[in-house]
């Protein structure tokens, strides 16, 4: 960026002639030079266009064009062989120190911006001075510039923009600024917006459509209201934040949820908003930005959930141990009393029921402890039928009595290479998801099968696995999912349940599990008919890659294939 140097007003002869000439110039020190056509008329034109001079090694003028000669108040013939730098100092003696340093510079190309403040009857001048040095001398170029924005606001516009070149430069500057703003709004990862006092959008960048489904065209933005897509549960919080921005007249930052108007997809945005308030307290509008922080929020929630699960596991283990001791005592007493009363006593049947119930309670406690203590991460070979049967047995104890749960397992063994703990968590989460959608006489069907060829799979989350593939499906006769929502099922936080009812993470986590295990999740649903969620996984082939992964889980270092003997 070129430096700017000011010249204090003075009463020299050249200054007086400057005043008479009515010179006007400008300064945009950080903009690239523009090749503008010269304007005839010399100093009386009030603008210097493309002044050029060729200098010898000592700074003497070898050649000079008419615009620069006129600005120096001489003709080109009279300026031949004259020293250029003293002539320039006649325009503003206060430039002496800076021009001395500028002349001594060794760079091939040097540029500075010079400023001469306004005199009695003329506006200030801003000039860009550029020197291109070469072995035989130098080439000097001087160009008038428009004032910077701050100076232009307070300047005499008629004097500053009194000729075509100044107006052309102002147009170019405005066009460049508009292009830079457009580039910023197009590439900004969030949304830049300006709202009226009634929260309708005066302007919004293109990403608004992606997040909310509201168009950014002239009509759609101006007629769409902010509260149409703010999540209902967060509306009160947002209103409170906006009220604080009005009262304090300070920017506020908050995070809340917004819903996509067409798909219902939920996104978390961090908003920075500032209220525009008149001196009399009238709200004129708002300006702000959104940044999509959905992924970050998801990570924070998962981290928080993991910490709570770890604490819950420890609490559950302690409580389960105490509960198990209580059940063991009751079980022991029931067996003791059974031995004493014999088989024909009237209390025999009741004591047998107590004994069997305490035994079942003990087994259930151990299963609950196992769920909390199990840690994902260990991938081994399993029989999918056994995993599903185990989860189904636990699910039956969780389901309300109004619902039925049926299991249909493939007749053959289904070898699969997966994380059993994570599989149980995913399946139980999907079962609970289905329960919320089923009627009073709901039916749940868990089914496994093997497929030598993959059929057409609807609405996938992940990549279809290689064949042969195993399928585990959960089918319900619930209310189903609307067709317009199917494309967004695997998005985090997306849910068709009422607010505060669902987290919107069940299918998202299922997709992550499937991708991790080289499989996919497929969803087929019809409104008022039911939903089928199918988890497709590659059948284990006990290949070398799977065996190596198994050995790593067990901490076994495989023998080097290049060595045929033991060390």
How confident is the model at residue 30, as a pLDDT? 39
Q: Which of 485, 522, 525 has the alpha carbon at shortest distance from 259?
A: 485
Quick one: average pLDDT of 127-150? 87
Strands 404-408 and 443-451: parallel
| Phi then psi dihedrals of residue 175, to 5 deg | -65, -40
Alpha-carbon dihedral of residues 13, 18, 20, 22, nearest 10 degrees?
Answer: -170
Q: How confident is the model at residue 496 (pLDDT cuts 50, 70, 90)?
A: low
Q: How confident is the model at residue 346 (pLDDT cuts 50, 70, 90)?
A: confident
Give the tokens for residue 65: 């064009």
Angle at which helices 84-91 and 96-104 cross, to 10°: 150
Domain ranges of the chain: 4-163, 188-292, 317-373, 379-549
Within this chain, domains 188-292 and 379-549 share the same CATH topology? no
Q: Could you tell me which residues are beta bridge partners of residue 290?
A: 191, 271
Exposed/middle/buried for 457, CB within 10 Å: 0-12, 13-18, 19+?
Answer: middle
Q: What is 465-518 written as a DSSP string?
A: PPSSEEEEEEEE-S----GGGGGGTTSTT--SSPTTT--S-HHHHHHHHHHHTT
Cβ count near 483 (within 10 Å): 11
Cα 94 to Cα 5: distance, rounded to the nearest angstrom: 9
Q: Name the CATH topology of 379-549.
A: Heat Shock Protein 90 (3.30.565)
Range 4-163: architecture per CATH: 2-Layer Sandwich (3.30)
Angle at which helices 294-341 and 348-373 cross, to 10°: 150
Q: How confident is the model at residue 562 (pLDDT cuts 50, 70, 90)?
A: very low
Please tell me whether residue 446 adopts helix, strand or coil conformation. Answer: strand
Is residue 339 scored above 50 in pLDDT? yes
Q: Which of 558, 415, 405 has the alpha carbon at shortest distance from 477?
A: 405
How confident is the model at residue 495, as a pLDDT? 66
Task: Read off the pTM.
Answer: 0.45
Cβ count near 106 (within 10 Å): 6
Quick one: average pLDDT of 185-204? 83
Q: How confident is the model at residue 140 (pLDDT cuts 50, 70, 90)?
A: very high
Give the tokens for residue 293: 């922080």
Cα 437 to Cα 517: distance, rounded to the nearest angstrom: 28
How confident is the model at residue 502, as a pLDDT? 53
Q: How confident is the model at residue 347 (pLDDT cuts 50, 70, 90)?
A: confident
Residue-averaged pLDDT of the chain: 77
- Please write the tens of the pLDDT for every residue from 361-404: 777 777 666 666 556 667 888 999 999 998 888 888 778 888 88
Which CATH superfamily is 188-292 part of? PAS domain (3.30.450.20)
Q: What percent of the chain has pLDDT over 90?
A: 17
Angle at which helices 348-373 and 384-398 cross, to 10°: 120
- Please write the tens of the pLDDT for every residue from 105-116: 888 898 998 887
Exposed/middle/buried for 1, CB within 10 Å: 0-12, 13-18, 19+?
Answer: exposed
């Amino acid at each position: 960026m070129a430096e700017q140097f000011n010249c204090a007003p003075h009463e020299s002869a050249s200054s007086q002639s400057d005043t008479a000439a009515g010179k006007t110039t400008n300064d945009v020190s950080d903009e690239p030079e523009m090749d503008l056509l010269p304007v005839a008329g010399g100093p009386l034109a009030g603008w210097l266009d493309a002044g050029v001079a060729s200098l010898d090694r000592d700074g003497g003028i070898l050649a000079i064009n008419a615009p620069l000669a006129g600005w120096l108040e001489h003709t080109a013939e009279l300026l031949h062989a004259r020293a250029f730098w003293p002539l320039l100092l006649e325009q503003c003696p206060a430039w002496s120190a800076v021009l001395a340093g500028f002349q001594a510079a060794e760079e091939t190309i040097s540029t500075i911006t010079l400023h001469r403040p306004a005199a009695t009857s003329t506006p200030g001048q801003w000039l860009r001075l550029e020197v291109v040095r070469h072995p035989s001398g130098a080439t000097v170029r001087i160009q008038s510039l428009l004032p910077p924005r701050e100076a232009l606001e307070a300047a005499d516009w008629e004097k500053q923009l009194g000729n075509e070149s100044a107006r052309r430069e102002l147009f170019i500057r405005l066009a460049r600024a508009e292009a830079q703003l457009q580039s910023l709004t197009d590439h900004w990862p969030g949304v830049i917006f300006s709202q009226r006092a009634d929260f309708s959008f005066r302007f919004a960048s293109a990403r608004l459509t992606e997040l909310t489904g509201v168009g950014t065209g002239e009509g759609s933005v101006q007629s769409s209201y902010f509260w149409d897509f703010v999540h209902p549960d967060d509306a009160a919080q947002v209103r409170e934040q906006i009220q604080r921005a009005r009262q304090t007249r300070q920017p506020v930052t908050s995070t809340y949820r917004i819903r996509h108007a067409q798909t219902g997809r939920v996104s978390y945005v961090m908003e920075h908003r500032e209220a525009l308030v008149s001196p009399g307290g009238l709200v004129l509008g708002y300006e702000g930005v959104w940044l999509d922080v959905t992924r970050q929020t998801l990570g924070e929630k998962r981290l928080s959930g993991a910490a709570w699960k770890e604490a819950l596991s420890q609490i559950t283990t302690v409580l389960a141990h105490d509960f198990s001791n209580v059940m063991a005592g009751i079980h022991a007493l029931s067996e003791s009393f059974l031995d004493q009363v014999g088989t024909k006593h009237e209390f025999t049947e009741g004591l047998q029921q107590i004994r069997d119930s305490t035994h079942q309670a003990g087994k259930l406690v151990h299963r609950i402890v196992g769920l909390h203590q199990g840690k994902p991460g260990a991938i081994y070979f399993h029989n999918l039928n056994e995993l599903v049967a185990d989860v189904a047995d636990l699910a039956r104890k969780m389901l309300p009595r109004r619902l039925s749960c049926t299991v249909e397992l493939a007749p053959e063994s289904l070898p699969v290479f997966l994380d059993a703990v994570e599989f149980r968590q995913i399946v139980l989460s999907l079962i609970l998801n289905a329960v919320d959608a089923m009627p009073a006489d709901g039916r749940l069907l868990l089914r496994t099968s093997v497929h030598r060829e993959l059929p057409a799979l609807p609405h996938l989350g992940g990549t279809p696995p290689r064949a042969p593939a195993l399928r585990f499906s959960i089918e319900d006769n619930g209310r189903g999912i609307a067709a317009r929502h199917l494309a967004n099922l695997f998005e985090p936080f997306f849910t068709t349940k009422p607010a505060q009812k669902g987290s919107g993470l069940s299918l998202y986590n299922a997709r992550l599990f499937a991708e991790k295990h080289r499989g996919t999740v497929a969803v087929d649903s019809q409104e008022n008919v039911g939903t089928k969620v199918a988890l497709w996984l590659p059948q284990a082939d006990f290949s070398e890659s799977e065996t190596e992964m198994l050995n790593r889980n067990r901490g076994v270092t495989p023998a080097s294939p290049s060595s045929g003997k033991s060390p």
